[in-house]
Amino acid sequence: MSPSAHASSTVNPIQWRDDRLVLLDQRLLPGAEIHVDCATSAAVVTAIRDMVVRGAPAIGIAGAYGMVLAAREAWQRVGPAWRSDWQDAVTALREARPTAINLAWAVDRLVLAAQTLDGDPGLPLLVLAQQLHAEDLAANHRMGQLGAALIAPGSTVMTHCNAGALATAGHGTALGVIRDAHAAGRIERVFATETRPWLQGARLTSWELSREGIPVTLITDGSAAHVMRAEAVAWLIVGADRVAANGDVANKIGTYGLAIAARAHGARVMVVAPLSTFDPATPDGSAIHIEERAGEEITTIGGQRYAPAGVTAYNPVFDVTPAALIDVLVTEAGVIERPDRARIAALQAAR
């Protein structure tokens, strides 16, 4: 039996139930497990923007189901003219969060499929959305096996943000590798950065790993370089929100600094991302739009302001790690060592 068969996550963040999208509200974890029902495409847009659902693959899947709702709404309004009627909803879904390419990828997949449909589009688009959902889960398990095989037995690793079951269809990208490697006896200890300002590492990654018995130690973002040196971290393992054609990677803010620290301290860098995260239309990292969010996210905690009144805040929520700092890119189609434009193009062509 494969390692991933032993390591499957029990977390199910995205469900289609009773003709609506049901999302586990990640803003409330780990304190409460509450689900949000999205019965309209507008509700899906709000859930994506407000980070009820987060993580590039999960956002893409949610967007696909949002497209199903948008098509149904348009059909109910105007019948056979639905394709022209749904354009505003399509644009709203596609632009709900700009950095994660999976969202635009999923929306575009359903737009393409819609061009050939006759009659009520609801069922055929739902079948496609469910197919994308299933494909992402299968890709996670495949990446988990491929990435785990690269890790030496008894290793200590570090991860940033949350690239687990909560950020995907289930199992996870970076955490999928960690789950499978731990099940195979290859990982003894995981350091998880807290990941300011939304604390995805403290709230989500620690929650996922601890509930499954995987030893996890939480650290502040600022202590990561010290921990790499003092604890002989072998790998920094992260996910991605977009991979440019040359191998530059956009991921949660702080990833770039961690990759620099890893290079300084002899830790290798593994980025785990499905092919839906690769964007051949983006030549390099400088062309990736970096989302900025409200400054209040870093001047307040839990609604309580702790920065002095009048102090402004700059809050980019992603950064770009150059391909030169990445040792391996793990995809469901294979592992790319020392990623660059030629190696990525070759993998995609073979696929």
Question: Among all residues, which ones are annotated catalytic?
Answer: 241
105, 89 contact by CB (below 8 A): no
Q: How far apart are CA 321 and CA 319, in angstroms?
A: 7
Partners of residue 334 on adjacent β-strands: 331
Q: Residue 52: CB partners within 8 Å, gap ≥ 6?
A: 23, 25, 26, 27, 36, 46
Q: Residue 12: CB partners within 8 Å, gap ≥ 6?
A: 24, 165, 170
In 211-327, beta strands by DSSP E: 216-219, 235-238, 242-244, 249-252, 268-272, 278-279, 300-301, 304-305, 318-321
3-state secondary structure of 12: coil
Q: How far apart are CA 324 and CA 284, in angstroms?
A: 12
